[in-house]
Amino acid sequence: MRIEALRALIAVVWLTALLWPKFTVADNFTQPISSRITREDPSSEYNWILPQTDKPKLELTYREMQNILRIEEAEKGKPVGCCRTVEYHISPAGGSNRSNMYVELYRDSTTNQSFYEVSCHPDYVDKPCRFIDRKLAPQSKCVQQYSFSYALIKDPDEHKHRHKAHHSEDTGPRTPWILDHIRIRSGCACQLTSKPKKKRVTNGTKVKKDKSKTRRPHDQEFDDNSKDNYSIKNRHP
C-alpha cells in the first residue's frame, strides 16, 4: 500500500511540474494584451500605450499620465500640452485671406510657397482634454486654433485695377501678385466651459401659496362657527 501511494504521489508531482510552465506562460502572454494595446502616433516615430477603448481616456491613472508625459516630453524636448497636435508641411495652391475669401497663391515651375501647420490630433479634436481634473474633463474640449501668415497671392481686385489703368495715363508695368495673408492652423488649445446652473423650481411654491389662499375663507368660516357655538354654550349652561 505504501509503494502504491508513493507512486501516485510521484505521478501527481510530475504531472503538475509538466503542466505548470504552460499555464504560467499563457497567463503572462494574455494579460497585457487584454488590458492594453499599442497605437502608432503619426506625428512621431515611437509607439505609446493607450487604453484599449476611447472611453477610459478620462479615467487614466496617475501612473499612466506620468508615463505618457515622460514619453512625449522625451520625444519633443519641451513641455507637453493637454491636447495632442500634429505638424504638417504644406504647399497649397490657395487659401483663405482675412476676408474669408479664397485666394490663389503664387507658384511657378521652380517656386512653391510652403507653410508649417500645427493641427489638432484627429483623435482629440473637439474631444475632452488630457491631464485635467476628472470633474472638469466633461466641460473641456480641444479646439483648433488659427493664425495668419504672409503669402504672395493673386490680387482678387485685379480686374478693377486693369479697368482703372485703361482709363488713366499710367502705362507702366503692373503685376497681378500682391503680398497678403492666408489662414493656417497654428495649434490646438484646451478650452473649458462653465457648467450650467440648474433652474430652481418655483411652480411648487406658487401652488402651495395658492392652496393656502383658497383655504383661508373656509378656515375663517370654521372659526366663526366655533365662536358662535362657544357663545351659545355660555348662554345656556
- Write the class of the CATH domain 81-210: mainly beta
- Please tell me what DSSP assigns to residue 59: G
* 151 burial via Cβ count (<10 Å: 0-12, 13-18, 19+): buried
Domain with CATH 2.10.90.10 in the chain: 81-210
The confidence score (pLDDT) of residue 102 equals 95
What's this model's pTM, rounded to 2 decimal places?
A: 0.53
For each of the chain's 237 residues, which pLDDT tens digit applies?
A: 555 555 665 555 455 544 444 443 333 333 333 333 333 344 333 333 344 434 435 577 888 889 988 998 888 788 889 999 999 999 999 999 999 999 999 999 898 999 999 999 999 999 999 998 888 999 999 999 999 999 999 998 765 555 455 455 555 567 889 999 999 999 999 999 998 888 776 665 555 555 555 555 555 555 555 555 555 555 554
Work out the number of other CB atoms within 10 angstroms of the CB of residue 41: 17
The confidence score (pLDDT) of residue 88 equals 94
The span from the CA of 12 to the CA of 95, in Å, is 77
Contact 83, 188 (CB under 8 A): yes
The confidence score (pLDDT) of residue 133 equals 87
